[in-house]
Amino acid sequence: MTSNAASSLPPPSLDIETLRERILTGGSGAANPRGTLTKVAGRFAEFARSLSDGGGGASSSSAAEALRTELSLHELEVRKLVMSARASDRNSARYDAALSRTEGSLASVQADIEALTGALARERRTKRNREEYDALARMGNDAHPPVRETRAELERVEAEIQAVRDDVRRARNELLVREKQMRAFLQCLGDLRASLSEEELRKEVAGEGGDGGGKKRKRHEGVL
């Protein structure tokens, strides 16, 4: 039964590159932990970093290929464990479940790779569209000044208009003050002229009164 179970397991389908990596690593010892979950996780982290860094299609493709190779090596190691478990006829059900989970994880990782690859393509397309939009925006800004510059220029003109209005208001106030001062000066000048006229009139009246008294005295002396 054990030999039948071991022989019924299909051999893993690996490409030449994966087999070469498997031969070069010489197994899954501590010195070369190829095909382990830790190594797969490291390759996946490198692939994710290449996508997030936006370094270009070459680095992303290289990281994806390395991840696929590591997944194939991991699948080989898992199949070796399953074959050994079936050969020894111990815990076969548990290892079958582990294999199913691993295959599910591999399928999930493959789906993640495809999703990330699609996201990278969309990001590149979005970046290209953004660059085209920026180029059009620069052309529009060169042809027409930006709204913020127009608003700033309008605010500057309004400030100058307000300053001119303030100057006109101050000039009007000063003109009113000068007008009041001029009216007060003319009032004082009129009062001064009136005072001088009254003084001259009094002097004239006083002079005429003195001349009349002298004539009367002379007339009285002639009679005597």
8 Å CB contact between 120 and 51: yes
Instruction: Say how far apart CA 19 and CA 34 lie, in whole Å.
Output: 12
Whole-number pLDDT of residue 126: 93
Whole-number pLDDT of residue 105: 84
Contacts of 125 (CB under 8 A, 6+ apart): none
Whole-number pLDDT of residue 77: 83
Whole-number pLDDT of residue 29: 46
Whole-number pLDDT of residue 30: 46
Whole-number pLDDT of residue 6: 42
Whole-number pLDDT of residue 162: 92
8 Å CB contact between 96 and 102: no
Whole-number pLDDT of residue 73: 84
Question: Cβ-count burial of 8 within 10 angstroms (0-12 exposed, 13-18 middle, 19+ buried)?
Answer: exposed
Question: Cβ-count burial of 71 within 10 angstroms (0-12 exposed, 13-18 middle, 19+ buried)?
Answer: buried
Whole-number pLDDT of residue 28: 45
Instruction: Say how far apart CA 211 and CA 219 lie, in whole Å.
Output: 13
**pLDDT averages per 10-residue partition of the chain, 224 residues:** 45 54 49 66 80 69 81 83 70 72 85 88 91 85 70 88 91 89 88 83 76 53 48
